[in-house]
């Protein structure tokens, strides 16, 4: 095998010696014993949430997690409360996206050809402080889970969670917009405090399997379909194998029905998201019936606030 010395050095560091081309079956599971959960991202209005969850009920499938990506600070307190009540009543987790982020800031770099390197990260200490205030506002309005786009913010938020400056039950998910795509990067995010990790969207299955080997039980969040704005691929037939090698994971599905991440969404799009999620659940149940999905209310990640 070539590069043998470097591969051995990786192993010493707790990393795989290469991508897992043998695609071993992951024995890791969520605390309830399930291999996968269904996550619908870019659910960016309360009317979309309602349509998504109502249609999922009609289709007899379970949505385990709803993720908002428009920007929590762009929603009124009233709408955030509606998000929390809808998800609480249905029995699914809710994640709100933190900001302000580079795309909403006054800096020009994000609009240039170099902008992809900035992603949704935070510019300056004041924006970092405001992002922490975003967490506090969302928590007060009933949300317990948050989507984070900046490694520095993740470290700060986790340290504040540990020392009591943020609540102990707050949960952090890392976005694919961070651009991480290998086992070492995933391990870094775990060490920084990530409770679930979303690699970039186009990784091959052996790459997912290698990341699983580096991060222990930490759940992965893996896209099984995407809007044209981030590739447009639909991996419905790959979903069973992705779950098999990378469990526990959230199958991120539904965004192939919209134009791009972070845009405002409608009730009609919520219904189509539920239809796409139904297809993913069908594929996993058809080709890997031994891989079980979590039921509703795996954890209270939102509470109704009057």
List the alpha helices (DSSP H) in the chain.
4-12, 46-58, 77-90, 115-118, 124-140, 151-163, 183-192, 205-214, 239-246, 267-287
Encode pLDDT of 50-101 as tens digits: 999 999 999 999 999 999 999 999 999 999 999 999 999 999 999 999 987 7
Model confidence pLDDT, tens digit, residues 165-194: 999 999 999 999 999 999 999 999 999 999
In a domain, 112, yes or no: no
Confirm whether 17 is domain-assigned: no
Tell me which residues of the chain have a pLDDT lower than 50: none
Q: Are 56 and 277 in contact (CB under 8 A)?
A: yes
d(CA 142, CA 137): 9
302, part of any domain: no
Q: Is residue 11 part of a domain?
A: no
Residues 202, 206, 211: CA angle, nearest 5 degrees: 80
- Residues 200/181, Cβ–Cβ less than 8 Å: yes
User: Rounded to an integer, what distance in angstroms lies between the CA atom of residue 151 and that of residue 188?
Assistant: 9
Instruction: Report yes or no on 303 lying in a domain.
Output: no
Q: Assess if residue 14 is contained within a domain.
A: no
Query: What pLDDT was estimated at residue 183?
Result: 98
How far, in whole angstroms, is CA 160 from its chain's centroid?
21
**Tokens encoding 20:** 């897992």
Q: How many domains does the chain fold into? A: 1
In a domain, 51, yes or no: yes
> Where does residue 145 rank: exposed (0-12), middle (13-18), buried (19+ CB within 10 A)?
buried
Can you give the residue range of the structural domain that contains 49? Answer: 28-105+118-287
Q: For the whole model, what pTM was predicted?
A: 0.95
In a domain? residue 96 = yes
For the domain that residue 85 is a member of, what is the CATH number?
Answer: 3.20.20.70
């Amino acid at each position: 095998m070539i590069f043998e010395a470097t591969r051995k050095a990786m192993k010493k560091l707790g990393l795989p010696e290469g991508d897992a081309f043998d695609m071993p079956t992951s024995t890791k599971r969520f605390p309830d014993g399930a291999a996968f959960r269904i996550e619908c991202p870019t659910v960016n209005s309360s009317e979309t949430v309602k349509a998504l969850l109502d249609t999922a009920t009609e289709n007899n499938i379970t949505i385990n997690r709803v993720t908002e990506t428009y920007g929590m600070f762009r929603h009124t307190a009233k709408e955030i409360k509606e998000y929390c009540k809808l998800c609480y009543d249905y029995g699914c987790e809710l994640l709100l996206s933190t900001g302000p982020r580079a795309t909403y800031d006054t800096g020009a770099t994000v609009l240039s050809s170099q902008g992809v390197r900035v992603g949704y990260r935070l510019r300056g200490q004041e924006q970092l402080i405001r992002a922490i205030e975003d967490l506090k506002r969302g928590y007060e309005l009933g949300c317990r889970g948050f989507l984070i786009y900046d490694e520095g913010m993740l470290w700060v938020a986790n340290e504040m969670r540990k020392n009591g400056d943020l609540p102990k039950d707050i949960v952090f998910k890392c976005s694919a917009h961070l651009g991480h795509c290998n086992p070492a990067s995933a391990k870094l995010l775990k060490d920084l405090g990530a409770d679930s990790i979303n690699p970039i969207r186009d990784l091959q299955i052996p790459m997912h399997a290698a990341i699983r080997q580096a991060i222990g039980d930490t759940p992965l969040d893996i896209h099984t379909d995407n809007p044209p704005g981030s590739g447009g691929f639909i991996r419905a037939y790959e979903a069973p194998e992705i779950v098999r090698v990378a469990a526990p994971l959230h199958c991120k599905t539904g965004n192939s029905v919209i134009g791009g991440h972070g845009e405002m969404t409608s009730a009609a799009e919520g219904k189509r998201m539920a239809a796409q999620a139904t297809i993913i659940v069908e594929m996993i149940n058809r080709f890997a019936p031994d891989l079980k999905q979590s039921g509703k209310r795996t954890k209270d990640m939102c509470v109704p606030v009057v």
